[in-house]
């Protein structure tokens, strides 16, 4: 029998629940989609063109919408707004694209059974 993982601080109680449910096979940690891995590999490739990267990103419409929204935010506001994913990549940069891809993928993976966990994510 496995011992339960417990945290001293109440703020970390939800993480204790997650860890214990994973240890008991009541929850499963998801794997990243293959498209995410392809995009992240492309971002890391110094020889990748914006066009090729944009084609990969375009395979995920919700990711495209998120990136377009970020590019339109006041942080990145430019004289000429981004009109395409290629424009977004040029405007926000590869590091931000990579960060958003990862966050979007991880968030979309969590369909958890525990109501508190679903609310958290």
79-109 pLDDT, tens digit each: 788 899 999 999 999 999 999 999 888 777 6
Model pLDDT, residue 119 = 62
11-57 pLDDT, tens digit each: 567 667 777 777 777 766 666 688 999 999 999 999 999 999 999 99
DSSP string, 30-74: PPPPHHHHHHHHHHH-TT--HHHHHHHHTT-HHHHHHHHHHHHST
Q: At what angle do helices 61-72 and 94-109 cross, to 10 degrees?
A: 130
Model pLDDT, residue 20 = 76
Model pLDDT, residue 107 = 76
54-81 pLDDT, tens digit each: 999 999 998 999 999 999 998 887 778 8
CA 66 to mean position of chain CA atoms: 11
Question: Structural domain boundaries of the chain?
Answer: 34-109
């Amino acid at each position: 029998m496995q011992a339960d993982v417990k945290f001293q601080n109440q703020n970390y109680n939800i993480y204790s629940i997650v860890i214990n449910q994973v240890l008991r096979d009541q929850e499963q940690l998801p794997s990243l989609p293959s498209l995410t891995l392809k995009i992240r590999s492309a971002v890391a490739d110094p020889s990748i063109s914006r066009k090729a990267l944009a084609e990969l990103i375009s395979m995920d419409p919700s990711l495209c919408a998120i990136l377009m929204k970020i590019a339109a935010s006041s942080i990145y506001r430019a004289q000429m707004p981004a009109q395409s994913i290629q424009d977004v990549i040029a405007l926000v940069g590869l590091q931000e694209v990579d960060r958003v891809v990862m966050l979007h993928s991880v968030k979309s993976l969590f369909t958890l059974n525990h109501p508190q966990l679903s609310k958290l994510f």
